[in-house]
């Protein structure tokens, strides 16, 4: 996208600094050598096009500055990827600075060649409701809190995007829908990226490698989280999906090995937790399912070795906890099931329960604990039982 030189108001920063220093020399007798150093340290010019200010660099690069820019009469900020000054082309691929809180910007149009939205570039831009990326967008990164506290209602994320940095869409309460383009290359969703946003559902791309702490924490309208087939991360971060009060069911991908502290804490309407077949889950850490108040049953995957402190505490409706026949459970921390509704539980002999009373004391009543010796079901046993398998007869 091209901007002609006649559309530009150009201010040469060297000339401004030179004039300022001349005045200082006359009034304070500053050494003349200071002029040369100051002038040659300036490497940028500021130009304006359609209300947007760009800082031009000697190497031919440029970037838009959201702090100094304004929208047109229709509330639009149209960014440019090529700026021409005195016949010379400057390539702009990012926007930086911090947009004023009371900015009149309603819509931002981002050209295909832009690769980076800088930290806080539209932070608390209270009127911003639409962000449009040109087809074939090369955008790779959205910076920290770049679009936080805006009025965005939906967004189509370009396939080229690799990283959504911490707090990017934090408290975007009007943001109901986010869609990732086909063949998304997204690798990371940073800390608190969508914290307290208005999201109702999200489909997470399979190439993602990091689901960081608190990324969907307190999304009270979020009722559906879908992990695409082939989902790669090995863990779900601390409080990543905590306090998602509309979430009723969750399917945990088979490749997940660790559920970090509190990752589903306080999901008060979570009724169903499904671990995919051949789950590799090894650790359920502290407070992971604490205060999931309507959860009635949980089947612990066979490879799970560790249940953390208060991992199922205050699950008031939890009546049934099932360990697979070939369970590898080794450690159950204190208060793991305290203040739940579990009356009886069968646990492998290999499990180290720790303090028995503090782990399973429910409303001053000690849970009935039956120990069993883990076994590996054989094909012969499955044939003898017909359709009944170890999945539904885990303790016999």
CATH number of 252-396: 3.80.10.10
Taking all residues of the chain, what is their mean pLDDT, rounded to a whole number?
83
- Are 319 and 341 spatial neighbours (Cβ–Cβ below 8 Å)? yes
The 10s digit of each residue's pLDDT in 288-302 is 999 999 999 999 999
Residue-wise pLDDT tens digits, 333-388: 988 988 888 888 888 887 777 655 566 655 556 567 777 888 765 554 444 434 33
> What's the distance, CA 379 to chain centroid?
43
As a whole number of angstroms, the distance between CA 253 and CA 242 comes to 18
Q: Is the pLDDT of residue 117 over 70?
A: yes
In this prediction, residue 188 carries a pLDDT of 94
Instruction: Label residue 63 by pLDDT band (50, 70, 90).
Output: very high
Cα distance between residue 324 and residue 342, in whole Å: 17
Report the SS3 class of residue 122. Answer: coil
| More confident of the two residues 353 and 191 | 191
Task: Provide the percentage of residues in the chain whose pLDDT is more than 70.
Answer: 80
Token representation of residue 173: 């309460």
- Quickly tell me which residue has 């360990």 as its tokens: 323
Inter-residue contact 83 to 62 (CB < 8 Å): yes
Looking at residue 142, the DSSP 8-state letter turns out to be: E
pLDDT digits (tens, 9 = 90+) for 2-55: 444 444 444 444 444 435 433 543 444 333 322 222 222 334 589 998 889 999
pLDDT tens, residue by residue, 141-176: 999 999 999 999 999 999 999 999 999 999 999 999
Residues 274 and 253: their CA atoms lie apart, in Å, by 9
DSSP code of 125?
-
Are the C-beta atoms of residues 142 and 163 closer than 8 Å to each other? yes
For residue 29, what pLDDT is reported? 38
**What is the C-alpha separation between 43 and 90, in angstroms, rounded?**
13
- Reported residue count of the chain is 396
Cβ contacts of 96 within 8 Å, gap of 6 or more: 63, 64, 65, 66, 118, 119, 121
Q: What's the count of helices (H) and strands (E) in the chain, helices before strands?
A: 4, 32
Domain boundaries, the chain: 252-396
At residue 395, does pLDDT exceed 60? no
Maximum separation of any 2 CA atoms in the chain, in Å: 103
89 to 55, 84, 193: CA distances (angstroms): 13, 4, 36
Residue with tokens 């999931």: 292
Q: Which pLDDT belongs to residue 364?
A: 53
Beta-bridge partner residues of 225: 202
pLDDT at 369: 75
| More confident site: 96 or 372 | 96
pLDDT, mean of residues 235-264:
96
pLDDT at 305 over 90: yes
Quick one: pLDDT at residue 109?
95
Q: Does the pLDDT of residue 394 top 50, yes or no?
A: no
């Amino acid at each position: 996208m091209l901007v002609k030189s006649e559309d530009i108001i150009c201010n040469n920063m060297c000339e401004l600094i030179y004039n300022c220093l001349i005045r200082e020399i006359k009034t304070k007798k500053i050494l003349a050598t200071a002029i040369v150093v100051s002038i040659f340290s300036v490497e940028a010019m500021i130009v304006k096009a359609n209300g947007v200010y760009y800082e031009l660099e000697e190497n031919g690069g440029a970037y838009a500055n959201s702090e100094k820019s304004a929208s047109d009469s229709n509330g639009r900020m149209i960014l440019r990827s090529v700026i021409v000054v005195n016949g010379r082309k400057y390539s702009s691929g990012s926007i930086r600075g911090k947009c004023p809180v009371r900015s009149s910007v309603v819509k931002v149009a981002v050209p295909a060649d832009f690769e980076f939205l800088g930290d806080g570039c539209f932070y608390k831009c209270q009127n911003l409701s639409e962000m449009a990326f040109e087809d074939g967008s090369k955008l790779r990164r959205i910076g920290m809190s770049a679009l936080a506290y805006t009025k965005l209602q939906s967004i189509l994320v370009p396939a080229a995007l690799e990283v959504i940095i911490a707090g990017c869409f934090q408290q975007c309460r009007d943001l109901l829908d986010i869609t990732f383009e086909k063949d998304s290359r997204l690798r990371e969703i940073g800390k608190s990226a969508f914290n307290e946003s208005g999201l109702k559902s999200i489909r997470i791309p399979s190439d993602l490698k990091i689901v960081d702490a608190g990324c969907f924490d307190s999304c009270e309208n979020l009722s559906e989280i879908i992990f695409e087939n082939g989902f790669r991360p090995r863990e779900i971060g601390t409080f990543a999906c905590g306090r998602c009060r509309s979430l009723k069911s969750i399917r945990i991908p088979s490749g997940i090995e660790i559920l970090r502290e509190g990752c589903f804490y306080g999901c008060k309407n979570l009724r169903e937790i499904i671990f995919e077949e051949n789950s590799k889950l090894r650790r359920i850490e502290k407070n992971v399912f604490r205060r999931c108040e309507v959860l009635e049953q949980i089947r612990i995957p066979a490879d799970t070795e560790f249940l953390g402190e208060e991992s199922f505490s205050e699950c008031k409706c939890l009546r049934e906890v099932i360990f697979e026949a070939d369970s590898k459970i080794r450690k159950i921390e204190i208060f793991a099931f305290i203040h739940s509704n579990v009356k009886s539980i069968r646990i492998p002999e290999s499990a180290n329960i720790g303090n028995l009373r503090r782990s399973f004391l429910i409303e001053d009543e000690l849970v009935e604990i039956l120990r069993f010796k883990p076994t590996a079901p054989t094909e012969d046993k499955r044939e003898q039982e017909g359709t009944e398998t170890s999945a539904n007869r885990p303790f016999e």
